[in-house]
Amino acid sequence: MLNQKKVMSFLCFKHNKLFQPIALYSTKVLPQIKKTGSLSTPKAPSSSSHTETRKPVIPANCRFIYPEFLPDPKPEWRNPIREKLERLDMLDRRTQIEIPEFYVGSVIAVTSSDPHSAGKVSRFLGICILREKCGLRTRFILRNVIDKQGLEISYDMYDPTIQKIEVLRLEKRLDDRLLYLRDALPEYSTFDLNMEPEIREEGAAVPINDIKVRLRPRPWLEKWERQNLRGISNIDEYLTDKRRRTAKDHEKPWEKYDLMKQYRSTIPEEHQREIYSEVYARIHQTDLERQKNKRKRSFVNPTKLA
């Protein structure tokens, strides 16, 4: 019996010597315990040690102010790499020239370089009757009546020959396209070339001009009675019964309920937020720098009195 006890004690001693206990360590930080025994709450990072740049809040009407940054909704024309490079080029161009907010119906003056003019610079003033396309191909058309002759000039918004874009009257119209001004009376498209810019309060809503123009008698450039326009007042005066029946046959009242057509003709909202979150921060920073430079130029150092 004593020999068995000696053997067992020898085996236990040998076992403890061969197999040392393994210590396990955790990478998890243990909470600090106060003297009272309660767990301490983690301290908030101080502003001096950790500073973050606050991104500007994207306005809700951003897609109406900068519609050219949205790509073409047609899937066969989509190319993410090309769209990304175009947005970068557009942002670089906006750092060189100020492109203000304007809409169809606003009165704009554009100064551009012209090698055929006397001072190598030409300036045209008119009402914006069309704004279309996207990316670097964005263009708008200005119309004015000079010496009883209607003139229209199409400008590429990101054309490097444009030197200055001035918005003299910021407003909207009832329709998104004002091409019917070509068939309207000339007084609706006549603007003084020396027109002064109208002062507008900062942050005020863009007014909507609900004026309705009067068309001249036929012939017209397009069949305006088929386009459901709200900015024409006397279109029924020049329609015969046959033209009214034809216009009614071409109506498509079901299109406003066609969800698939609306989906194919627009960019998804989550994609819009992704694009404008990338674009608006840089545009906002450029505007702040431009305003700061304007304040510096407007400040004049006082001269010493004799």
Give the mean model confidence (pLDDT) for residues 149-173.
Answer: 96
Instruction: Express each pLDDT in 114-136 by its tens digit.
Output: 999 888 999 999 999 999 999 99
Residue 120 is encoded by which pair of tokens? 């190598």
Q: Is the pTM of this model over 0.85?
A: no
Instruction: Express each pLDDT in 170-183 by its tens digit.
Output: 999 999 999 999 99
pLDDT computed for residue 290 by the predictor: 87
Residue 49 has pLDDT above 90, yes or no: no
Give the mean model confidence (pLDDT) for residues 49-67.
Answer: 73
Domain locations along the chain = 102-241
Confidence class of residue 18 from pLDDT cuts 50, 70 and 90? very low
pLDDT computed for residue 296 by the predictor: 74
Confidence class of residue 23 from pLDDT cuts 50, 70 and 90? very low
In single-letter form, the type of residue at position 22 comes to I
pLDDT computed for residue 25 by the predictor: 46
Give the mean model confidence (pLDDT) for residues 186-211.
Answer: 93
pLDDT computed for residue 60 by the predictor: 84
- Residues 6 or more apart whose Cβ sits within 8 Å of residue 83: 71, 135
Q: What is the DSSP string of the chain?
A: -HHHHHHHHHHHHHHHHHSPPPP----SPPPPB-TTSPBPPPPPPPTTT---PPPPPPPTTHHHHSGGGSPPS-GGG--HHHHHHHHHHHHHHHHHS------TT-EEEEEEE-TTSTTSEEEEEEEEEEEE--GGG-EEEEEEEETTEEEEEEEETT-TTEEEEEEEE--B-SSS--GGGGSB-GGGG---TTPPPPP--TTPPPPB----B-BPSSP-SS-GGGS--SSBS-GGGG--HHHHHHHHHT--GGGGG-HHHHHHTS--HHHHHHHHHHHHHHHHHHHHHHHHHHHHHH--PPPPP-
pLDDT computed for residue 3 by the predictor: 55
pLDDT computed for residue 127 by the predictor: 97
Confidence class of residue 202 from pLDDT cuts 50, 70 and 90? confident
Determine which of 8-12, 54-58, 283-287 has the lowest per-residue pLDDT on average: 8-12
CA dist., res. 23 & res. 25, Å (int):
7
Residue 208 has pLDDT above 50, yes or no: yes
Residue 36 has pLDDT above 80, yes or no: no
141 compared with 302, residue with greater pLDDT: 141
CA dist., res. 79 & res. 139, Å (int):
20
The fraction of the chain above a pLDDT of 90, given in percent, is: 65
Instruction: Express each pLDDT in 82-96 by its tens digit.
Output: 999 999 999 999 999
Instruction: Express each pLDDT in 230-272 by its tens digit.
Output: 999 999 999 999 999 999 999 999 988 999 998 898 999 999 9
CA dist., res. 184 & res. 64, Å (int):
27
CATH code assigned to 102-241: 2.30.30
pLDDT computed for residue 4 by the predictor: 54
CA 33 to chain centre: 53
pLDDT computed for residue 9 by the predictor: 53
Contact 167, 149 (CB under 8 A): no
